[in-house]
Amino acid sequence: MKTLADLNTPIFWAEGHPGSLERDKWVVSVIGNCVNPQQFTWQELLKLPQKEVRGRLTSVTRWSVEGLWTGIALSTMLGIVEMLPTCKYLRFWSVGEIYDTSIPLEIALKEKSMLAYSFNKEYLTEDYGGPVRAFIPYLWGYKSAKSVVKIELMEYYIPGFWEKRGYTDSGEIEPGPCRDLNAEGEIKYIKEPGEVQF
Ligand SMILES: Nc1nc2c(c(=O)[nH]1)N[C@H]1C(S)=C(S)[C@@H](COP(=O)(O)O)O[C@H]1N2
Ligand SMILES: [Mo]
Protein backbone atom coordinates (compact mmCIF):
# COMPACT_ATOMS: atom_id res chain seq x y z
CA MET A 1 0.00 0.00 0.00
CA LYS A 2 1.19 3.47 -0.83
CA THR A 3 2.15 6.16 1.65
CA LEU A 4 1.16 9.82 1.27
CA ALA A 5 4.74 10.48 0.11
CA ASP A 6 4.53 7.66 -2.49
CA LEU A 7 1.39 9.37 -3.83
CA ASN A 8 3.26 12.69 -4.12
CA THR A 9 0.95 14.36 -1.65
CA PRO A 10 1.95 18.01 -1.19
CA ILE A 11 3.29 18.87 2.27
CA PHE A 12 1.65 21.98 3.68
CA TRP A 13 3.03 23.70 6.77
CA ALA A 14 1.91 27.31 6.45
CA GLU A 15 3.38 28.11 9.89
CA GLY A 16 6.70 26.39 9.10
CA HIS A 17 7.69 22.71 9.34
CA PRO A 18 7.90 21.67 13.01
CA GLY A 19 10.94 19.42 12.54
CA SER A 20 11.06 16.04 14.23
CA LEU A 21 8.31 15.23 16.72
CA GLU A 22 8.43 12.50 19.34
CA ARG A 23 5.52 10.13 18.96
CA ASP A 24 6.13 8.43 22.32
CA LYS A 25 5.94 11.76 24.16
CA TRP A 26 2.96 13.17 22.27
CA VAL A 27 0.06 14.54 24.31
CA VAL A 28 -3.29 15.81 23.03
CA SER A 29 -5.30 17.97 25.44
CA VAL A 30 -9.05 18.11 25.15
CA ILE A 31 -10.38 21.15 26.99
CA GLY A 32 -13.31 23.55 27.06
CA ASN A 33 -16.99 22.70 27.23
CA CYS A 34 -16.80 19.25 28.84
CA VAL A 35 -17.10 17.64 32.28
CA ASN A 36 -13.69 15.87 32.19
CA PRO A 37 -11.04 17.85 30.33
CA GLN A 38 -8.17 15.42 29.69
CA GLN A 39 -4.69 15.01 28.35
CA PHE A 40 -4.30 11.92 26.21
CA THR A 41 -0.78 10.56 25.83
CA TRP A 42 0.21 8.65 22.68
CA GLN A 43 0.02 5.41 24.67
CA GLU A 44 -3.46 6.28 25.97
CA LEU A 45 -4.71 7.17 22.50
CA LEU A 46 -3.68 3.74 21.23
CA LYS A 47 -5.73 2.07 23.98
CA LEU A 48 -8.96 3.79 22.90
CA PRO A 49 -11.36 2.12 20.46
CA GLN A 50 -9.73 2.43 17.04
CA LYS A 51 -11.44 3.36 13.84
CA GLU A 52 -10.47 2.68 10.22
CA VAL A 53 -12.03 4.67 7.43
CA ARG A 54 -11.48 4.94 3.72
CA GLY A 55 -11.57 8.56 2.74
CA ARG A 56 -10.13 11.48 0.86
CA LEU A 57 -8.13 14.44 2.00
CA THR A 58 -9.02 17.15 -0.52
CA SER A 59 -7.30 20.51 -0.70
CA VAL A 60 -8.85 23.78 -1.75
CA THR A 61 -5.74 24.00 -3.99
CA ARG A 62 -7.48 21.20 -5.91
CA TRP A 63 -5.83 17.89 -5.26
CA SER A 64 -7.31 14.89 -3.50
CA VAL A 65 -5.75 11.75 -2.03
CA GLU A 66 -7.56 8.62 -0.93
CA GLY A 67 -6.54 5.88 1.47
CA LEU A 68 -7.22 3.98 4.64
CA TRP A 69 -6.97 6.24 7.68
CA THR A 70 -6.68 4.81 11.18
CA GLY A 71 -7.25 6.69 14.38
CA ILE A 72 -9.81 7.54 17.02
CA ALA A 73 -13.25 8.80 16.07
CA LEU A 74 -13.80 12.33 17.36
CA SER A 75 -17.13 11.11 18.74
CA THR A 76 -15.20 8.64 20.94
CA MET A 77 -13.01 11.42 22.33
CA LEU A 78 -16.03 13.66 22.96
CA GLY A 79 -17.73 10.84 24.84
CA ILE A 80 -14.72 10.28 27.10
CA VAL A 81 -14.42 13.93 28.09
CA GLU A 82 -18.21 14.16 28.47
CA MET A 83 -18.90 17.03 26.17
CA LEU A 84 -21.45 19.50 27.49
CA PRO A 85 -24.52 20.62 25.48
CA THR A 86 -22.89 24.07 25.23
CA CYS A 87 -20.23 22.63 22.89
CA LYS A 88 -21.01 23.76 19.34
CA TYR A 89 -17.60 23.76 17.61
CA LEU A 90 -14.29 21.91 17.88
CA ARG A 91 -11.17 24.03 17.56
CA PHE A 92 -7.99 22.14 16.65
CA TRP A 93 -4.54 23.49 17.47
CA SER A 94 -1.41 22.23 15.75
CA VAL A 95 2.00 21.94 17.39
CA GLY A 96 3.37 25.43 18.18
CA GLU A 97 -0.22 26.72 18.41
CA ILE A 98 0.07 29.05 15.42
CA TYR A 99 -2.21 27.01 13.16
CA ASP A 100 -5.78 26.46 14.29
CA THR A 101 -9.04 25.64 12.58
CA SER A 102 -12.58 24.98 13.79
CA ILE A 103 -15.39 22.71 12.65
CA PRO A 104 -19.04 22.49 13.70
CA LEU A 105 -19.95 19.74 16.16
CA GLU A 106 -22.29 18.10 13.59
CA ILE A 107 -19.33 17.48 11.28
CA ALA A 108 -17.12 16.26 14.16
CA LEU A 109 -19.77 13.67 15.02
CA LYS A 110 -19.91 12.25 11.50
CA GLU A 111 -18.69 8.71 11.01
CA LYS A 112 -15.37 9.45 9.29
CA SER A 113 -14.23 12.46 11.35
CA MET A 114 -11.23 11.37 13.36
CA LEU A 115 -7.93 12.02 15.01
CA ALA A 116 -5.77 9.95 12.64
CA TYR A 117 -2.32 8.48 13.19
CA SER A 118 -1.96 6.15 10.17
CA PHE A 119 -2.48 6.30 6.43
CA ASN A 120 -2.54 2.98 4.55
CA LYS A 121 -1.36 1.25 7.75
CA GLU A 122 1.80 3.34 8.16
CA TYR A 123 2.19 5.89 10.94
CA LEU A 124 1.97 9.48 9.72
CA THR A 125 5.34 11.19 9.52
CA GLU A 126 5.89 14.78 10.66
CA ASP A 127 5.59 15.93 7.02
CA TYR A 128 1.98 14.73 6.95
CA GLY A 129 0.89 15.73 10.44
CA GLY A 130 2.13 12.89 12.61
CA PRO A 131 1.93 11.74 15.31
CA VAL A 132 -1.80 12.60 15.13
CA ARG A 133 -3.84 14.91 12.93
CA ALA A 134 -7.45 15.73 12.34
CA PHE A 135 -8.93 13.93 9.33
CA ILE A 136 -12.20 15.50 8.20
CA PRO A 137 -12.97 14.20 4.69
CA TYR A 138 -16.22 16.19 4.51
CA LEU A 139 -14.49 19.58 4.33
CA TRP A 140 -11.52 21.17 2.55
CA GLY A 141 -8.15 19.96 3.81
CA TYR A 142 -7.43 23.13 5.77
CA LYS A 143 -9.89 21.84 8.39
CA SER A 144 -7.70 18.73 8.87
CA ALA A 145 -5.16 20.31 11.25
CA LYS A 146 -1.82 18.50 11.39
CA SER A 147 0.14 17.42 14.48
CA VAL A 148 -2.69 18.25 16.84
CA VAL A 149 -1.78 19.14 20.43
CA LYS A 150 -5.08 20.57 21.61
CA ILE A 151 -8.78 20.27 20.87
CA GLU A 152 -10.92 23.01 22.38
CA LEU A 153 -14.64 22.42 22.76
CA MET A 154 -16.12 25.81 21.95
CA GLU A 155 -19.45 27.50 22.43
CA TYR A 156 -18.85 29.77 19.44
CA TYR A 157 -16.90 29.84 16.19
CA ILE A 158 -13.50 31.50 15.76
CA PRO A 159 -11.93 31.74 12.29
CA GLY A 160 -8.65 29.83 12.09
CA PHE A 161 -5.31 30.34 10.35
CA TRP A 162 -6.57 30.03 6.76
CA GLU A 163 -10.10 31.25 7.44
CA LYS A 164 -8.64 34.58 8.65
CA ARG A 165 -6.72 34.70 5.36
CA GLY A 166 -9.78 34.34 3.16
CA TYR A 167 -10.73 30.68 2.97
CA THR A 168 -14.35 29.99 3.85
CA ASP A 169 -15.38 29.41 7.45
CA SER A 170 -17.59 26.49 6.43
CA GLY A 171 -14.80 24.75 4.49
CA GLU A 172 -17.45 23.22 2.25
CA ILE A 173 -15.87 21.33 -0.66
CA GLU A 174 -16.98 23.04 -3.87
CA PRO A 175 -17.46 21.47 -7.31
CA GLY A 176 -14.77 21.91 -9.94
CA PRO A 177 -11.64 20.29 -11.35
CA CYS A 178 -9.36 18.43 -8.96
CA ARG A 179 -6.19 16.36 -9.38
CA ASP A 180 -6.62 12.78 -8.21
CA LEU A 181 -3.29 11.83 -6.62
CA ASN A 182 -4.31 8.15 -6.66
CA ALA A 183 -4.45 8.39 -10.47
CA GLU A 184 -1.08 10.11 -10.92
CA GLY A 185 -2.60 13.57 -10.72
CA GLU A 186 -5.18 13.07 -13.45
CA ILE A 187 -7.67 15.94 -13.48
CA LYS A 188 -11.14 14.76 -12.46
CA TYR A 189 -14.25 16.72 -11.52
CA ILE A 190 -15.90 17.21 -8.17
CA LYS A 191 -19.55 17.16 -9.22
CA GLU A 192 -21.33 17.93 -5.97
CA PRO A 193 -20.48 19.85 -2.83
CA GLY A 194 -19.36 17.70 0.11
CA GLU A 195 -17.23 14.58 0.51
CA VAL A 196 -15.42 13.84 -2.75
CA GLN A 197 -16.33 10.71 -4.70
CA PHE A 198 -14.74 10.44 -8.10
N1 LIG B 1 -0.60 22.70 11.08
C2 LIG B 1 -1.02 22.73 9.82
N3 LIG B 1 -2.04 21.93 9.47
C4 LIG B 1 -2.49 21.94 8.19
C5 LIG B 1 -1.94 22.82 7.23
C6 LIG B 1 -0.87 23.66 7.65
O7 LIG B 1 -0.34 24.45 6.87
N8 LIG B 1 -0.44 23.57 8.95
N9 LIG B 1 -2.43 22.87 5.96
C10 LIG B 1 -3.79 22.36 5.77
C11 LIG B 1 -4.14 22.20 4.38
S12 LIG B 1 -4.49 23.60 3.52
C13 LIG B 1 -4.25 20.98 3.81
S14 LIG B 1 -4.85 20.77 2.25
C15 LIG B 1 -3.78 19.76 4.50
C16 LIG B 1 -2.67 19.13 3.72
O17 LIG B 1 -2.16 18.02 4.40
P18 LIG B 1 -0.74 17.45 4.00
O19 LIG B 1 0.27 18.53 4.20
O20 LIG B 1 -0.56 16.28 4.92
O21 LIG B 1 -0.83 17.04 2.57
O22 LIG B 1 -3.32 20.03 5.82
C23 LIG B 1 -4.01 21.05 6.51
N24 LIG B 1 -3.51 21.12 7.86
MO1 LIG C 1 -5.29 22.88 1.42
The domains located in the chain, with CATH, are 24-55+67-156 (3.90.420.10)
Q: Is 119 in the pocket of ligand 1 (CB under 6 A)?
A: no
Q: 90 burial class (0-12, 13-18, 19+ CB within 10 angstroms)?
A: buried
pLDDT at residue 170, rounded to an integer: 98
pLDDT at residue 121, rounded to an integer: 98
pLDDT band at 189 (very low <50, low <70, confident <90, very high): very high
From ligand 1's centre to the CA of 22, what distance in Å? 19
Q: Is 144 in the pocket of ligand 1 (CB under 6 A)?
A: yes
From ligand 1's centre to the CA of 145, what distance in Å? 6
pLDDT at residue 152, rounded to an integer: 98
Give the number of the atom of ligand 1 that is nearest the alpha carbon of residue 162.
12
Comparing CA positions, the residue from 116, 49, 125, 126 lying closest to residue 80 is: 49
Q: What percent of the chain has pLDDT over 90?
A: 100
pLDDT single digits (tens) 62-80: 999 999 999 999 999 999 9
List the residue whose alpha carbon is closest to atom 20 of ligand 1. Answer: 128
Shortest-distance ligand to the CA of residue 11: 1
Average pLDDT, the chain: 98
